[in-house]
Amino acid sequence: MSELSSWFKNLPIFTRHWFGLTIALSLVGRFAILSPKYLILDYHSIFESFHIWRPASALFYYPITPKTGFHFLINLYFLYNYSLQLETGLFNGRPADYFFMLLFNWICCVIIGLLADFPYLMDPMVLSVLYVWCQLNKDTIVNFWFGTQFKAMYLPWVLLGFNLIIAGGGVMELVGIVVGHLYFFLTMQYPQEFGGPLLLTTPQFLYKYFPNQRSGVQGFGVAPQPRAEFRAAAQDAGPRRYDWGRGNVLGGQN
């Protein structure tokens, strides 16, 4: 337990809180300590009954049942792995910038969730972060089922196709891809590839609460770096090849 506690405390701040709150709130709903009906995203409850906590609780709560339990664990793995690699890689020493990415993606997921009547936001939120990592590590080789290998840029689409074929879903994954691409396009792709201005920058007040932790870094409020530098920074977080773990079936709704 002491080793587990030490591991958890050593996680970077936002990955630690997102990971921990997701487990805690999902278990609270699983054991009926708090009714899940008060945790899901619901338009009428928010705007008519003023349940203003629902956009946040819908992010951290996911129903754990015999049918969805494995999918929940896979989502937790994606959350931990890709959030950790982004926070300790590209966003290393820049907590305000990473928090703003999470905040922007979350707001987009909430808006789409309210319009499309999604009760939970874990799937699109995790996929949006995974998508950003994959775009920054396009040429990294990832292993999937039965030893199949492909570039990371295809991973979000593989997950979308997998869920579409196996579970008959895919809408949540598609929303996550759209949200992740919107952030990536506005902050990186449009300024670098199209020579346009930065269309989305971290608000200055966030730097007051989450100051940069290393010198010479000012976040996305400065002139964009070449794509190669972004990719090199992101790849510092992990090895060139990434092993999913052969023999594990990625089932569920993912």
How is the chain split into domains, by residue range? 2-242
Cα 125 to Cα 173: distance, rounded to the nearest angstrom:
9
Question: pLDDT category, 249, cuts 50, 70, 90?
Answer: very low
Counting residues of the chain whose pLDDT is more than 70, the rounded percentage is 83
Rounded to an integer, the average pLDDT of 66-70 is 89
Position 214 scores a pLDDT of 65
Checking if the pLDDT of 232 tops 60, the result is: no
Position 170 scores a pLDDT of 86
Radius of gyration (C-alpha) of the chain in whole angstroms:
18
pLDDT, tens digit (0-9, with 9 covering 90-100), for 9-51: 999 999 999 999 999 999 999 999 999 999 999 999 999 999 9
Question: pLDDT category, 235, cuts 50, 70, 90?
Answer: very low
pLDDT, tens digit (0-9, with 9 covering 90-100), for 124-133: 999 999 999 9
Cα 224 to Cα 189: distance, rounded to the nearest angstrom:
10
* Predicted TM-score (pTM) of this structure: 0.83
User: What type of residue sits at position 155?
Assistant: L
Checking if the pLDDT of 238 tops 60, the result is: no
Range 2-242: architecture per CATH: Up-down Bundle (1.20)
Position 192 scores a pLDDT of 87
Cα 44 to Cα 48: distance, rounded to the nearest angstrom:
5
Checking if the pLDDT of 241 tops 80, the result is: no
Cα 162 to Cα 232: distance, rounded to the nearest angstrom:
30
Residues 6+ apart with CB under 8 A from 11: 19, 84
